[in-house]
Amino acid sequence: MAEGAFSMTTPDMFTPLEPASVSDPVAARMDALRRQLHHHAHRYYVLDEPQIPDADYDRMFQELQALEALHPELTSPDSPTRRVGGKPLQQFASVRHAVPMLSIRTETDTEASGAQNFDARVRKELGLGASDPPVEYVAELKFDGLAINLRYENGVLAQAATRGDGEVGEDVTQNIRTIRQIPLRLSKDAPPVLEVRGEVYMRRDDFESLNEKQREKMARGIKGEKTFVNPRNAAAGAVRQLDPAIAARRPLSFFAYGLGEVTPEEEGGPLFETHFELLMTLKSWGFPVADLTGTAQGASELIAFHEKIGRQRDQLPYDIDGVVYKVNSLALQKKLGFVTREPRWAVAHKYPAQEQITTVLGIDVQVGRTGKLTPVAKLAPVFVGGVTVTNATLHNEDEARRKDVRIGDTVIVRRAGDVIPEVVSVLLDKRVQDAPMFTMPRKCPVCGSDAVREEGEADYRCTGGLFCAAQRKEAILHYSHRRAVEIEGLGDKLVEQLVDANVIRALPDLYRLGLSALVALDRMADKSANNLLEALEKSKATTLPRFLFGLGIRHVGEATAKALARHFGKFEAIMDATEEQLLAVNDVGPIVAKSIRTFFDQPHNREVVAQLRACGVRWKEGEAAARAPQPLSGKTFVITGTLPTLSRDQAKDLVEAAGGKVAGSVSKKTDYVVAGAEAGSKLVKAQALGVAVIDEADLLTLLSRY
């Protein structure tokens, strides 16, 4: 975490203190820790709105535990270390647990040594020497959810309770009943009293779709709806939802990992020798037990488990924050016993935290290959999820507003697996006064062209497609596409090289390429260089629709480019057309018209067009549509099979030039199917529907008849 971001957890506080001489500052420190922990436990357990990452909470908790061990005289009965969780909400009935719900000690050493430390402690407590055999453990996942006690009486789910403070929890039976994975009735061999303990959690995919729904509700202006920070908070919120009908709509899951009160063996209760046997029995009674649970011999197998799960962690369908090791033999568990409220026979071994606190140094706006503007928070470097993170995406304007991240803010960043780092939330109480709200720039930060956000879209885009350095590669590739101006042999690898080597800084530089610059590139022989130069030369003689399409104007696809060319005839007419004039073109709606206008309003784009023409790019201009003959106007064609002389693209161009439309599939609305050799299902369908089937010669006759 960022040094000093949370003043109570600076590392120097961990250095052992001399008991007598410094007892006052120690008492003050312990008091401060207790107050902080109470505050954060309330935020976490009661409000489901944590303000700090779990790792920081754990660190404070452990510091307090350590100080209490050193200074037992300074402990206080209300210390958070005496409790396991938060206060029950007033609205739920309280439930006193027949057997207290304990906590497990957390091994925060995330390295392999964490497992070794635990094994060494267990062996020492059991009085085992180096030559004694390894201790057998059960290795489980540490699910990131909410602990629940399920009480079955005579095989029927009688009560479900949260952990609460470990002694008294909340009665959440109604809500828990809605979880399908939890059996409401057990098979005959279950004992008369059985309490099963485990974790209620939310799967990641369920969490995503829940938040998606919440976002929709917020967008519709429904009051009181919010999105959840993570699956655990969503699960906790659902379990402690007072309205069971709402809880029922929240997708929850469950894993069992232990027992509470159970009918004793003398009264006909079950007899287990090991924890693993207990888990397998729970499974046979219908409780979900995670498949990744297994036994392990000694520290080395615990380490192997920790590493294996660490590798799989991000692919799991649910969040875990570590693994749990438990001594397998119940007799040994009994022998080991407890320290305060934590068993000596179990430990939670964590993974590096995926959330950390840091500060926002600035907010940059990056421009993607396609012109999309993305706000990115620049962070004070922080080690999270196993790497040092300095950037976190804010996605788009709405997201940035929703999170309201400002320069100077203290934020929680999250990085899980390969997922790009994200700002989870802002710690508002640490905001610098008068920090201005972030606003998206109205100009592209790379090229200065207008940045626009179209109606119904989330992103701002740079409109300087031809000129903008960020979009150079994409613009060149698009321009040289087979269906645009077509420059044969100019693929993405080559464009990459040309742009990276700074040989091409703007689109017209393509036509300024010389042989020497080309052969200087990697893997470029004389022959291919000459071929490319030839292809470039050939591309100069193009058509107006191809050129228009090649400019990469947003929303101007091939069909629109053709319609524009047909309608206006001349390039200048299109470039200077008003939105209203553009709207007169078939298929051009307000969004497209505006996009074309904005594109040509950028002086840089016009300049690039002028330069391309100066380099020799040319096309035959036609007359405006009103005067041009449109013999096939209103007719729809489908072209299928191999035609004797024309390629399908050529046939399509001819039909469209004559005002016809070419569709991809045959329907009753099709006027003609042009069938060549090996025409298949489309021909069959045409015959079935009674659509006229013609060949290439017929098509040419149709075209020449007018």
Which residues contact ligand IVH by CB under 6 A?
Answer: 102-104, 140-143, 147, 199, 257-258, 324, 343, 346
Rounded CA separation 270/189 (Å): 9
Give the distance, in angstroms, between the CA of residue 540 and the centroid of all CA atoms in the same chain: 44
Nearer to ligand IVH, 147 or 262 (CB): 147
- Minimum distance from CB of 102 to ligand IVH (Å)? 4
- Of the candidates 459, 461, 444, the residue with the CA atom closest to the CA atom of residue 370: 461
CB 359 within 8 A of CB 380: yes
CB 132 within 8 A of CB 297: no
Residue 253 or 598: the one with the smaller Cβ distance to ligand IVH is: 253
Shortest separation between residue 145's beta carbon and ligand IVH, angstroms: 7
Nearer to ligand IVH, 139 or 379 (CB): 139
The smaller minimum CB distance to ligand IVH, of residues 237 and 258, is found at 258
Closest distance between ligand IVH and the C-beta of residue 122, in Å? 15
Radius of gyration (Cα) for the chain, nearest Å?
35
Stated as kind and residue range, the H or E segment containing 499 is: helix 492-500
Give least dist CB 348 to ligand IVH, A: 6
* Nearest-approach distance from CB 185 to ligand IVH, in angstroms: 24
Token duo for residue 695: 């060949």
**How many Å apart are CA 347 and CA 661, to the nearest integer?**
70
Shortest distance, position 57 Cβ to ligand IVH, whole Å: 12
User: Cα–Cα distance between 372 and 393 in angstroms, integer?
Assistant: 13
Q: Closer to ligand IVH at the Cβ: 119 or 140? A: 140
Strands 193-201 and 253-262: antiparallel
In terms of CB distance, is 258 or 464 closer to ligand IVH?
258
> Contact, 483 vs 558, CB < 8 A?
yes
Are 660 and 624 spatial neighbours (Cβ–Cβ below 8 Å)? no
As a whole number of angstroms, the distance between CA 621 and CA 544 comes to: 7
CA 494/CA 522 separation, integer angstroms:
9
Spatial distance between the Cα atoms of 534 and 516, rounded to a whole number of angstroms? 15
Q: Provide the token pair at 89.
A: 């909400």
Nearer to ligand IVH, 142 or 562 (CB): 142
Residue nearest to ligand IVH (CB): 147
HSE-up (13 A, CA, CB side) for residue 517 = 16
SS3 at position 571: helix
Give CA–CA dist 399/403, Å, rounded: 6
179 is written with which tokens? Answer: 């979880």
Catalytic residue flag (residue 142): yes
Q: Which of 142, 372, 562, 594 is catalytic?
A: 142
The catalytic residue positions are 142
